[in-house]
Structure 1
Amino acid sequence: MCPIGIFDSGYGGLTVFRSIADQLPQYDYLYLGDNARAPYGNRSFETVYEYTLECVQWFFDQGCKLVILACNTASAKALRTIQQKDLPAMGPGKRVLGVIRPSAEEIGRFTQTRSVGVLGTKGTVSSGSYVTEISNFYPDIRVYQQACPLWVPFIENGDYKNDGVDYYIRKDLEQLFAQATDIDTVLLACTHYPLLEDRIRKYLPEGIALIAQGPIVAGSLADYLRRHPELTNILSQGGSRSFFTTDSVTDFEEHATQFFGEAVSAQHIHLELK
């Protein structure tokens, strides 16, 4: 069995997994949430790299040949180092992909003013990864970032449906648009944020495109697999979905349902917690 691995520091990657499973239902999947060490957003580059590498190695130990980092912080702070430094020593045929490059590659299709807003965690914003990647594909696009440090805690605690979160959404959006009045496209650069999509839209100016990453990443993965038949041919296609967490199984199953859109059954794994 050679499943596709999907990783996140917590639950947010399940929104990406949902889109991938809907578009590519035939493959076997393993999902791992490193909930015991979440959130990653405010941790150092070195710590995020160490945690992410440990989880990637776990996937490879389970027989995965392809791992998707469905986590913006891990993609921003760990992906490049893992690809360049670690993968060559891990044996041939192993791949690790992230969510930033596909999102950056597609963003140009949505903006007419060539002025884009990016909403993310403090770690993702401070890394500058979106500014760099978008400029690589579209040198003419201006990128304005806004960190939203309280959105993930609201979501993880199950408080995202309460009116209290509206204050922070409105404030963060005001700070984003204070940077530029011609922003016409806003990217949700955190996989948790789709759960706030309806509330975010309430405070967006009319006509603004609000982009979630799940469908973009799913489409990019489908294209990647078409271009790499040597990988596609070894991936197992039993349609199975297995979920793992480094923390409480009960808590994971309760929260995961909100992100994945259906009930899940999880297993606990132990990693060396630091």
Structure 2
Amino acid sequence: MSSTQPIGVFDSGYGGLTVLKSIVRQLPQYDYVYLGDNARTPYGTRSFETVYHYTLECVQHLFGLGCRLVILACNTASAKALRNIQQLDLPTIAPDRRVLGVIRPTTEVIGTYSKTGHVGILATRGTVTSESYPVEIEKFFPELHVYQEACPMWVPLVENGEHNSPGADYFVRKHLDQLLSQSPAIDTVLLACTHYPLLLPKIRQFLPDNLTILSQGEIVANSLQEYLHRHPEIDAQCTKGGTLRFYTTDSADEFAQKAGLFWGEPVRAERLKL
């Protein structure tokens, strides 16, 4: 058992680093552990059962590293696994631990950004198929019109370092056009995958200037800060040494090389064998 009790941040690959970066920027005093399940990525095309099994396994490893609080910084895992983990697993395997996702914090505020009441969601096929965003948004903003577009090529473009290439233009423009064709009134677009912020320059290139584009990092960081304030008993269990550790289920060297693209500087990683 680790002597520290860090906040765990989990993702199927590298994208969650964009969320962790925002969290660390806002809450630098805490200890953090990041785990990327790079050996089994992508999650977006996998079944609910598989994503649930993989996510639970990684969450349990983060618990083993001392984490009392784990953030699923992955929209697909949040959509397909979070509810089962919270309702079925935690009460029996770890009643004193907490697991949070990225969908709820986003849906709690998305309606405040739109003036027309029409919002677009860009996500993986798994997140779109789950209908998690329309269902959750309905709870907070029942009057909002929600339009979704699955972008299956966007994550591979990012993970292969092709997000700034001319070849990315076709796939970015294609899915933006298909989203906007669903309603000319869309004025707010959510990047509902933590990889997509790396495509922001391309996305801005092909979207009208008057559209608001939302990334999840800052939203999740604000939500986490509020959560820790509301739950001082959880906050007290999270150690505050300002440390960062990175783990991957695949090659540590490859992770360190590619993670720098998301993190903004080189990282050192360790391999975690499942």
Q: TM-score range by the shorter chain?
A: over 0.9
1:198 shift after superposition: 1.0
CA distance in 1 between counterparts of 2:43 and 2:50 reads 9
Q: Which residue of 1 aligns with 2:204?
A: 201
Q: Which residue of 2 aligns with 1:133?
A: 136
Match of 2:109 among 79, 100, 106: 106
Show the counterpart of 1:260: 263
Deviation at 1:91, TM superposition (A): 3.0
Cross-structure match for 1:75: 78
1-structure distance, mates of 2:271, 2:161: 21
Equivalences for residues 5-44 of structure 1 within 5 A: 5-44=8-47
Aligned-partner Cα distance in 2 for 1:4–1:173: 35
Structure 1 unaligned blocks of 5 or more: none
In structure 1, what is the Cα distance between the partners aligned to 2:26 and 2:218? 8
- Tell me the SS of whatever aligns to 1:235: coil
Q: Which residue of 1 aligns with 2:214?
A: 211
**Take 1:92 and 1:177, find their aligned partners in 2: how far apart are those partners?**
44
Q: Secondary structure at the match of 2:170?
A: helix
Matches within 5 A, 1:172-251: 172-251=175-254
In structure 2, C-alpha distance between the alignment counterparts of 1:17 and 1:249, rounded to whole Å:
18
The two structures have a TM-score, normalised by structure 1, of 0.98
The aligned residue for residue 55 of structure 2 is: 52
Q: Deviations over 1:113-146 (max 9, x none)?
A: 0000000000000000000011110000000000
Which aligned runs of 4 or more in structure 1 are off by greater than 6 angstroms? Answer: none
Secondary structure, in 3 states, of the residue corresponding to 2:113? coil
Q: Within the alignment, does 1:62 sit opposite 2:68 as a pair?
A: no
- C-alpha separation between the residues in 2 aligned to 1:234 and 1:167? 47
Shift of the alpha carbon at 1:206? Answer: 2.6
Q: Distance in 1 between matches of 2:70 and 2:21?
A: 15
Helix, strand or coil for the counterpart of 2:270?
Answer: strand
Shift of 1:71: 0.2
Q: Write the letter of the residue equivalent to 1:177.
A: L
Q: Residues of 2 paired with 1:229 and 1:94: CA distance?
A: 14
Distance 1:166 1:109 in 2: 30
- Aligned-residue sequence identity (percent) comes to 61
Query: What is the 5 A alignment of 1:109-188?
Result: 109-188=112-191
List gaps (5 residues or longer) in structure 2: none
Distance in 2, matches of 1:4 and 1:137, equals 27
- Aligned counterparts of 1:245 and 1:32: Cα–Cα separation in 2: 6
1:70-101 CA-partner distances (Å, limit 9, x unpaired): 00000000000000000001233200000000
How much does 1:178 deviate?
0.8
How much does 1:14 deviate?
0.1
Offset from partner CA, 1:138-188 (integer Å, 9 cap, x none) = 000000000000000010111111011011110101100111000000000
Name the amino acid aligned to 2:53: E
Report deviation, 1:8: 0.1
Aligned to 2:39, what secondary structure does the other structure show? Answer: helix
What's 1:269 paired with? 272
What RMSD over aligned residues (CA atoms) do the two structures have, in Å? 0.6
State the match for 2:100 in structure 1: 97
Corresponding residue of 2:5? 2
CA distance in structure 1 between the aligned counterparts of 2:167 and 2:94, rounded to whole angstroms: 49
Distance 2:86 2:230 in 1: 19
